[in-house]
Structure 1
Amino acid sequence: MRKNIIPIFFAAIFCSGVQAQNLTGVPPVEYQVELNNEQSEFFTVEVKGSAYERGIQHGEALRKVIRPTLNRFKYDMVSAFLKEAGTDYNWSDYRQFFFDNTGLFQTAKKEAPELVEEIKGIAHGANLDFKDVFIYNLNFDETFWVLEKMTGIDPMLASAKAGLDQVTGHCSHGSVWAAGEATVGYTLDWTRHFEGSQTLIKHVLDDGTVLLTTTYAGTLIGHGINASNGYTFTPHSKFQLAHDIDNGLAQIFIYRKLLEAGSVDKAITLLERIKPAAGLAYTLTDKNGTRTFEVSSNHQTELTTGGQWMAVANVARVNNDLSTSYREALKLTSKQIDMNNLPEAYWQYNDDSVVRYNMISSAIKGKTPEEMTPVKWEALFSKKPINKPVDEKIETSNLWHVVEIDDEYIEYHVSPGNPGNIQLESYRFKYQ
């Protein structure tokens, strides 16, 4: 089910500013795809220039979407969590605590100043308060760890222990590769507070590098491809891993840095030196296959399967740097935790992730990229519990993708709905 809405011109291209020698044959990556807001199911934006300038363009174009989504985040998500935790705190308390009692802003300024400038541009373009937009950009796992520091309660572990569906932990990844080809299926699932703000952004960086990213309006990134260098990444929450919101870099900045690194190898080197604020798994895929790393605030551990396939859900499998709350809940007192000999409760708390991992791995083992077409990925990812569409009970909001890579092309199939709900639209780049 492909929706090819954007033509790629591999003949003459006539645009101002292109050198004469580039007017025939394959155009530069920047000119291979033009987004079309009228035809796409996403809000679409093309931005160019410095980080701040791109932020301004983003904020101006999407200000009518960013404002209500930011309010849902502030009042329907954060304030609701604070109330559920039994506190009298509100958004203003959270906002002050965030800047006074965590190092998230200071670390971002030090480690990713250009991306902080981009957020400033978004805020100015949308005519919104910078501090609000900065916190909104950190709407992923760091939100829970700020709430934990405020209330003394680990929200995700409390939810798991109560037997509640962990609505925010549903990101699923599968990939296969062989002979210089790879294909990835992935859903980035978050809370329905962001439903209706799904955005597709084409970034043209100062050096000409082109990124195509999906995100929620007003934020830096959710997922994407480096269209100039032919690789992609996917992130996966690992709520069980140690986190550090005092000294670590928030994940949304890591996402962008990985995508801007220029290659899978350079992105891995970047991961080796970064201290993250939250525990996640990062998968990096090019034509040669997928590399996956579970990264906590203190360790990085590579996850391998022993084959030319990868499956990832939201439970840590190899990194033993577990959070203090998990260690206490499972009565793990030794310094070295054996991930092959964990209490059964660990897997019970994360049963949804275990089921999804098993479903994906059993379906793709032994498959080739030619066999795992977008249609096949959709058929697999449309099944529950991998697929969790928004309804009265489940609040999951999806960004859903298939990426195909060979030694010349990278193709990005994306939809702002759960698998099978809204047709995939396809964007193809010749990167070699």
Structure 2
Amino acid sequence: MKFTLVVLGLLILSLLILDSKAESYTASETASNKFISPNEISLDNSSSNFFAITVKGSPYERGFQHGKQLRKIIRPSVNRFKYDLVVPLMNQLGLEGKYDNYKNYFLNHTKLLQTASNLVPELVEEIKGIADGAQLDFEDLFIYNLNFDETFWVLEKMSGIDPILAMEKKNNHHIDGHCSHGSVWNNDKASVAYTLDWVRTFEGTQTLIKHEKENGEVLLMTTYAGTLIGHGINASKGYTFTPHSKFQLEHDVDNGLAQIFIYRKIIEAGSVEKAIYFLHKIKPAAGLAYTLTDYRGTRTYEISSSKIVEFHSEENFMVVCNAARVNDNLSQSNIKEYKLIGENIDMNNLPAVYWQNNKDSQERYDKIKQGIKKCSSKNMSPEKWQKIFIQKPINKPVNEELATSNLWHVVEIDKRHIIYHVSPGNPGSLPLETFKIKYK
């Protein structure tokens, strides 16, 4: 009898231990798949492949924290921008290769600083904070923040030459900094993949920043150290955006707002609808396409300095690359190049040479479309997106031939959750870092 009781006791104890282990395993699995609130997002600089920081408070305070924490990388990056990007471009356009000439022209012959100060003073204050934190000149930091398309259009105004068109025509060379977007949605769920490709000057400065704003809203953004934003999610409201250069569209560095400020305003708008409203009322300095995605799907707008046109998707998917497709407000240099003067521009019947000069964009567009046109959002995992985006010419790794610096993202959104998968490399090179957020 005693033996039977002992055996029975051991059996019960074993079952309890196994049950405890099972519970422990289940709890561990739950923890790994746990969705957290936006305020609970924790960035670990020691384990991340990004420079990962959290900033809090007023715009200036957040900028100062950013600049102070990343000053050791911001300082050399600003110099690379000046002397490895701006000066060589000046030389290529027949200008005297002196950065101070560019700086003086930027400040005295464009209104980019004045426009930003008038329209988005809080973001100008944030740049002042970054400059003070990094102990750098504010004007240099402001110009550095406008390192995207506005650089080309300031140089165009200085030289009378469209730098992008000149590069496209010369030996069939295409600028390396191209971005690609694909998204799929259905049944109240959307999945987005995006590469932010820019020049190699910024390689090694990729930064992941959590902004805790004074109103309690949390933004999670990738960027290059010392700049306001490259891409991001509104972690509190559950939506995301992607920007795409449309070099062919009309631009205006005298009266327009630079794109980096538009990025920030649309991710801070609070919803896709509010962001679209902002895009309709703003006059941009450079022509771009913006996609805005929440759980309902993606909306895309091509915006020139004086016109906004929605690019409608065929079904429940969207593909955006860099050639303008629906906005006929082309730049004067493009109108002249393609002999469109005096004609009503039919964007569905552009000259063949237009597409030849934008061959890279068309190839990327076709590959992404082919990969997603029959897909649903539930099977578009990061792995599935990577199989599509790892293909050339979508994938542009840094090497001897390509001068491209990458940020690579997959964003999944449903009615309650937003999952942000993000990497500071090109697709397939560095692992995606994942943040699972319950936004409502």
* Shared fold per TM-score greater than 0.5: yes
Question: Does the Cα contact within 8 Å between 1:169 and 1:314 map onto a contact in 2?
Answer: no
The 5 A counterparts of 1:210-249 are 210-249=218-257
Please name the residue that 1:29 is paired with. Answer: 38
* Cα drift, residue 168 of structure 1: 3.9
3-state secondary structure, aligned to 1:366: coil
Please name the residue that 1:279 is paired with. Answer: 287
Which residue of the other structure, out of 364, 368, 376, is the alignment partner of 1:360? 368
The 5 A counterparts of 1:137-152 are 137-152=145-160
Which residue of the other structure, out of 272, 278, 303, is the alignment partner of 1:270? 278
Describe the superposition over 1:10-67 as per-residue Cα deviations: whole angstroms up to 9, x where unpaired. Answer: 6xxxxxxxxxxxxxxx875212x10000010000110010000000000000000000
- The yes-or-no answer on 1:428 pairing with 2:436 is yes
User: Given residue 94 of structure 2, which amino acid in structure 1 is its aligned partner?
Assistant: G
The 5 A counterparts of 1:4-403 are 28-31=37-40, 33-334=41-342, 336-403=344-411
Question: Does the Cα contact within 8 Å between 1:231 and 1:264 map onto a contact in 2?
Answer: yes
TM-score by length of 2: 0.92
Describe the superposition over 1:199-219 as per-residue Cα deviations: whole angstroms up to 9, x where unpaired. Answer: 000001111110000000000
Question: Does the Cα contact within 8 Å between 2:111 and 2:255 map onto a contact in 1?
Answer: yes
Please name the residue that 2:420 is paired with. Answer: 412
Question: Does the Cα contact within 8 Å between 1:227 and 1:410 map onto a contact in 2?
Answer: yes
Taking only the aligned residue pairs, the percentage that are identical comes to 60
C-alpha separation in 2, matches of 1:8 and 1:359: 34
Structure with the bigger percentage of helix: 2
* Cα drift, residue 275 of structure 1: 0.1
Describe the superposition over 1:261-312 as per-residue Cα deviations: whole angstroms up to 9, x where unpaired. Answer: 0000000000000000000000000000000000000100000122000000
User: Given residue 229 of structure 2, which amino acid in structure 1 is its aligned partner?
Assistant: I
RMSD: 1.2
Question: Does the Cα contact within 8 Å between 2:258 and 2:284 map onto a contact in 1?
Answer: yes
Please name the residue that 1:14 is paired with. Answer: none
Unaligned runs of 5+ in 2: 1-30
Describe the superposition over 1:225-248 as per-residue Cα deviations: whole angstroms up to 9, x where unpaired. Answer: 000000000000000000000000
Q: Which has the larger radius of gyration?
A: 2
Query: How many residue pairs end up in the alignment?
Result: 410
TM-score by length of 1: 0.93
Question: Does the Cα contact within 8 Å between 1:167 and 1:190 map onto a contact in 2?
Answer: no
* Cα drift, residue 9 of structure 1: 9.9
Question: Does the Cα contact within 8 Å between 2:68 and 2:133 map onto a contact in 1?
Answer: yes
C-alpha separation in 2, matches of 1:108 and 1:357: 33
* Cα drift, residue 86 of structure 1: 1.9
Unaligned runs of 5+ in 1: 1-6, 11-25
Question: Does the Cα contact within 8 Å between 2:168 and 2:175 map onto a contact in 1?
Answer: no
Question: Does the Cα contact within 8 Å between 1:9 and 1:27 map onto a contact in 2?
Answer: no
* Cα drift, residue 335 of structure 1: 5.3
User: Given residue 43 of structure 2, which amino acid in structure 1 is its aligned partner?
Assistant: L
